[in-house]
Structure formats: structure tokens, C-alpha cells
Amino acid sequence: MTLIVHAPNIRQGGGRTLLLSALEAISNTGGFAFLDRRLDSSSVPPSVVIETVAPTILGRLLAEWRLMRRAGPDDTVLCFGNLPPLFRNKGRVTLFLQNRYLFGKRDLGAFSHGERLRIRLERLWFSLRTDARTMSIFVQTPSMAEELRRETGIEARIFPFAPPNATTTPASLREEPRFDFIYVASGEPHKNHRQLIEAWKLLARQGLFPSLCLTLDPMAQPHLVDAIQRAMEDHGLQITNLGVVSHAEIEQCYRRSGALIYPSTLESFGLPLIEASAQGLPILASELDYVRDVVSPATSFDPESPLSIARAVKRFLHRSDESPNISSSAEFVQEILRGPATSTPSQSTHVKSVGHTSQRRI
């Protein structure tokens, strides 16, 4: 019996981390894996036989055909790339579902035309080829299992897992923070970097300049990286983009950060939440089900509102806004009759009270 891992479209982010962890777990028994040619295979155990897949339509179709030919009746096929086999094979199929864009109601407006076409084709593939009667389906959170059942009628098993080093507290002491906040995420629209940067602009206008560490690939997301660079120049934002870094480097970054901020609007798991929690890092995150499936954040916010994100940051830094004075209706009428004014004493006092204390970390 052979375990065949079919992951022809996994090469970055949390999916990559989980894939490499799963391949390491089967290293004692060997196995076979279809892997994206762009994935660095140096971390794959040598006992696992690899067949690389070209990142093209033809390459993917060839991989599906080869999977059909290779899987025998005694083999187990683990589809790690969200989609079931395109062609029926003789193996026992298990689907590990990590992509919430494949079902349910999703707004694809932020994606390019090519990406929207790809997602729609994958949704069609998923709906036509997923059969809960002949395959096992695994997800990692209760909220994803419930949405899948509600939208498709498919019952999935909930089985969260993470690399061993993401579930144990490190023995070494945390380092002096270099960054106030870190956001470990690639640059897809649902990762919500643009709203995060808008929140940082709001903070800058109030005299707060917390440092922020990002992990965006400039080659994969050039427009987003350029927009962040312009925001830094125009508003004096303290943002460092490390680019693509290894998992070991990410762990070091956690130890050098004051908190994880996580404004993503859609996740199947949110592995950085698990990793940061294991490092003892406070978490500021979206007030969404996927977050509370796995952690209890120190504070939460509306990810669609830069103001809500900015307020959460200020609460965490103990720089919360003062509550406004509520006037009477008579005072409102008097103010209208008084005529226009350029500013009020309370506004001036409020601006001065914000300060620049968070510039201490660079």
C-alpha cells in the first residue's frame, strides 16, 4: 500500500507549511507525491518519491492522468490541493480542503480577470468531481465544516493539525521586539493588506507610527508592494517587508515582534494564528469565526473597516480615543446659531494627547 500525495498547486503560505509537515510525517513509510515544480523540494524527505508538475493547464492535466494510472486499489490518494481527482482512479481518495473560494458565496471583484476565470473553473471542478459517498473529506475548523454542509450538503470531518514546532512553546526566551506588529501573509485580496495600510495611515494622521513587518513577495504582488511603498513615503509609515522567508525565519520574526495583527477576511485555518499563539505572541485579529475556531485574540476588529483596525491597535497600545462629550439638543441648536468655527479646544487637546511614543521600535 502506498500513500500518494497529490499537491500539484501548493507552493506557498500556510498550505506549503502544512504540506511539508505532512510529507515529513510519512517519511518513515515512504510514499509518492505530485508536487508543484515551483516548490522547493529540498525540504521533502528523500524517502518520498517526487514527480514535479509544470504550473500550466497541460501540466496539470498530465498530472491528473498520471495519478489515474498510478493509483491502485490498495493505495490511498491524499488530494492536498483542494480539488478531487479529475479522472476516477482505483485508490481510496481523501480530499483535504483548504480553499474557501471553492464553495459558498464569494465576491471575486478584487481578483484579476484571469484569476476570476481560474477560480470559477476550479469551483466547477470541485462541484462536479467531489463525491462524499466515495471519498473522505477533511477540513480544519468547525466554521468551515458548517459552511460546507450548509452550501453544498457535504459532511466533512474536522481534523486540525499543525507542524510540531507550531504546537509547542519554544524553550528560548523571547527577544526584545524589533517590530510592534507582524502580519505573516501572502498578498491575495482576502489577506486584506490594503485595509491594513489604510488603518496605518489613519494612525499616522493621529501621530501614531507603530512599526509593522510584512512578508509579501514583490514578484508575485508588485502592485501591492508598490502601493505600500508609496504609502510609506507619503505618510512616514514604519513598514518593513521581508519578502519571501523560510519557516525558520518566520519563527524568528515572531520572537522579535510585539504582537501579530491578522486582518484577513477569509481563512480555512489561519496557521499564523496557531504559530503566534505558540510563541506567546498577543494577537489582534478579525472578529470572524475562523479566528475564534483556533485562538482567543487579545482584541478584535471589523476587517472591512480601517477605522476599526486602527482603534484596535490603539487599544492594544493603550492609546484609546477619549469618549466624546454628548451635548443636549439645546446646545446643538446654540452651536448652529453661533456660526462656523475652525476648531474646538477639545479637538486641539485630543490631537496633542496622541503623541509619538510608538516610534520606539524600528
Unique residue bearing C-alpha cell 483548504: 98
What pLDDT, on a 0 to 100 scale, did the predictor assign at position 72? 95
Does the pLDDT at position 286 exceed 50? yes
CATH label, 3-161, candidates 2.40.480.10, 3.40.50.2000, 3.50.50.60, 3.40.50.1980: 3.40.50.2000
What pLDDT, on a 0 to 100 scale, did the predictor assign at position 1? 81
pTM, full prediction: 0.82
Would you call 140 exposed, middle or buried from its count of C-beta atoms within 10 A (0-12, 13-18, 19+)? buried
The band of 361, judged by pLDDT with boundaries at 50, 70 and 90, is very low
**Least confident among 71-85, 103-117, 230-244:** 103-117
**12 vs 122: CA distance, rounded Å:** 18
Per residue in 44-82, pLDDT tens? 989 999 999 999 999 999 999 999 999 999 999 999 999
Q: Phi first, then psi: give them for residue 149, nearest 5 degrees.
A: -65, -45
Computed over every residue of the chain, the mean pLDDT equals 89
The band of 327, judged by pLDDT with boundaries at 50, 70 and 90, is confident
Bridge partner residues of 284 (DSSP):
261, 299
What pLDDT, on a 0 to 100 scale, did the predictor assign at position 155? 95
**177 vs 360: CA distance, rounded Å:** 10
Question: Quick one: average pLDDT of 69-96?
Answer: 95
Per residue in 129-178, pLDDT tens? 999 999 999 999 999 999 999 999 999 999 999 887 665 555 455 667 89
| Number of residues assigned to the chain | 362
Does the pLDDT at position 353 exceed 90? no
- Of 79, 283, 30, 333, the C-alpha closest to 181 is 283
**Least confident among 42-51, 93-102, 293-302, 338-347:** 338-347
**275 vs 251: CA distance, rounded Å:** 8
What pLDDT, on a 0 to 100 scale, did the predictor assign at position 347? 42
Beta carbons of 316 and 259 less than 8 angstroms apart: yes
Unique residue bearing C-alpha cell 495600510: 197
- Bin 270: left if φ > 0, else alpha if -120 < ψ < 50, else beta: left
**194 vs 227: CA distance, rounded Å:** 9
What pLDDT, on a 0 to 100 scale, did the predictor assign at position 358? 39
Q: What angle do CA 21, 18, 14 make, to 5 degrees?
A: 140
DSSP string, 201-265: HHHHHTT----EEE---TTT-HHHHHHHHHHHHHH---EEE--S--HHHHHHHHHTEEEEEE--S
What pLDDT, on a 0 to 100 scale, did the predictor assign at position 168? 56
Question: Quick one: average pLDDT of 291-310?
Answer: 97
What pLDDT, on a 0 to 100 scale, did the predictor assign at position 362? 35
Does the pLDDT at position 223 exceed 70? yes
Q: Phi first, then psi: give them for residue 301, nearest 5 degrees.
A: -155, 170
Does the pLDDT at position 9 exceed 70? yes
**24 vs 214: CA distance, rounded Å:** 28
Per residue in 186-211, pLDDT tens? 999 999 999 999 999 999 999 999 99
Sheet strands (E) in the chain = 3-7, 31-36, 48-53, 76-79, 92-96, 135-139, 157-158, 179-183, 212-214, 239-241, 257-262, 283-286, 299-301
Q: Which residue has the higher pLDDT, 255 or 356?
A: 255
What pLDDT, on a 0 to 100 scale, did the predictor assign at position 232? 97
Does the pLDDT at position 330 exceed 90? no
Question: Quick one: average pLDDT of 276-288?
Answer: 94
Per residue in 254-277, pLDDT tens? 999 999 999 999 999 999 999 999
Beta carbons of 282 and 205 less than 8 angstroms apart: no
Return the CATH number of the domain spanning residue range 168-316.
Answer: 3.40.50.2000
Domain with CATH 3.40.50.2000 in the chain: 3-161, 168-316
**Least confident among 275-279, 313-317, 357-361:** 357-361
